[in-house]
């Protein structure tokens, strides 16, 4: 009898330890960072003339993309990266865990905020643009590089725009890409950390040099659409007005004014 009671006590304690351990794992465990080991990084930095301003001052530079993090909205206000022909490989990669970004001082939102939310963890720098390297691919799974996207939007018209960008790179070489959600007051929020759900997403794509830069901007509502991507083209000025971000701020004012105020479809083959 006493032995039976003792065994039940042991089983209860072990069960409690297992439950407690699982809870800690679920809520506090974070795997190692995805930073490339020393000497193995193939850094692809954005030229300074292509980088936007930061409204938060929280700029993070990874090996394969940069971002400006907004703690208020628990996501990046922009992610910027260079896309080259050599980056567009079809290497098979195992999807890693989504983990918090160790370089975001205020701590990027935990991936669990997205659980049962109905929204995708939408990559801003697509994992598909970083298949050329295991570390480049894994780096896109920091939670600072994701934003809540409608699933049909993410898999539909937004995916079409990402594929169109790759087509331009395959044909014309290196492009510079800047992507983010329009972060504004009054948005829907998800998770314990109140991650905001943007109503609109933008993407700005540029090619050329500071002296001869061509750029195009897109603004899309975060919902399914059967429209062609060309129908979402807007001026860069419009994106700046919606976001408060200054794009191509290092360009001479006269050059910047023309680049950002006009829609020049002729420079982009759809």
Catalytic residues: 123
- Residue 191, number of CB atoms within 10 A of its CB: 18
Distances (CA, A) of 28 to 9, 58, 112: 28, 24, 11
The set of residues, in sequence order, having a beta carbon less than 8 Å from that of 51 and lying 6+ positions away, is 66, 80, 250
What is the Cα–Cα distance from 184 to 199, expressed in whole angstroms? 9
**To 10 degrees, what angle do helices 236-243 and 253-261 make?**
100
User: What is the tally of helices (H) and strands (E) in the chain?
Assistant: 6, 11
Q: Is 198 exposed, middle or buried (0-12, 13-18, 19+ CB in 10 A)?
A: buried
């Amino acid at each position: 009898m006493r032995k039976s009671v003792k065994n039940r006590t042991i089983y209860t304690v072990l069960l409690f330890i297992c439950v407690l351990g699982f809870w800690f794992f679920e809520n506090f465990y974070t795997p190692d960072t995805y930073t490339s080991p020393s000497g193995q990084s193939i850094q692809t930095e954005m030229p300074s003339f292509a980088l936007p301003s930061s409204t938060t001052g929280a700029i993070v530079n990874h090996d394969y993309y940069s971002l400006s993090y907004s703690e208020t909205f628990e996501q990046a206000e922009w992610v910027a990266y260079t896309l080259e022909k050599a980056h567009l490989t079809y290497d098979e990669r195992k999807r890693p865990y989504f983990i918090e970004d160790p370089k975001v001082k205020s701590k990027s939102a935990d991936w669990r905020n997205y659980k049962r939310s109905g929204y995708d963890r939408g990559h801003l720098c697509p994992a598909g643009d970083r298949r050329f390297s295991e570390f480049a691919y894994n780096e896109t799974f920091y939670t600072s590089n994701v934003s809540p996207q409608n699933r049909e939007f993410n898999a539909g018209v937004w995916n079409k725009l990402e594929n169109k960008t790759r087509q331009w790179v395959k044909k014309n070489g290196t492009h510079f890409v800047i992507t983010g959600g329009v972060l504004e007051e009054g948005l829907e929020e998800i998770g314990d950390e109140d991650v905001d759900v943007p109503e609109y997403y933008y993407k700005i794509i540029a090619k050329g040099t500071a002296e001869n830069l061509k750029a195009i901007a897109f603004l899309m509502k975060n919902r399914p659409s059967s429209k062609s991507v060309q129908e979402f083209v807007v001026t860069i000025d419009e994106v700046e007005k919606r976001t408060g971000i200054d794009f191509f701020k290092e360009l001479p004012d006269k050059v910047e004014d023309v680049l950002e105020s006009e829609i020049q479809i002729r420079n982009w083959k759809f």
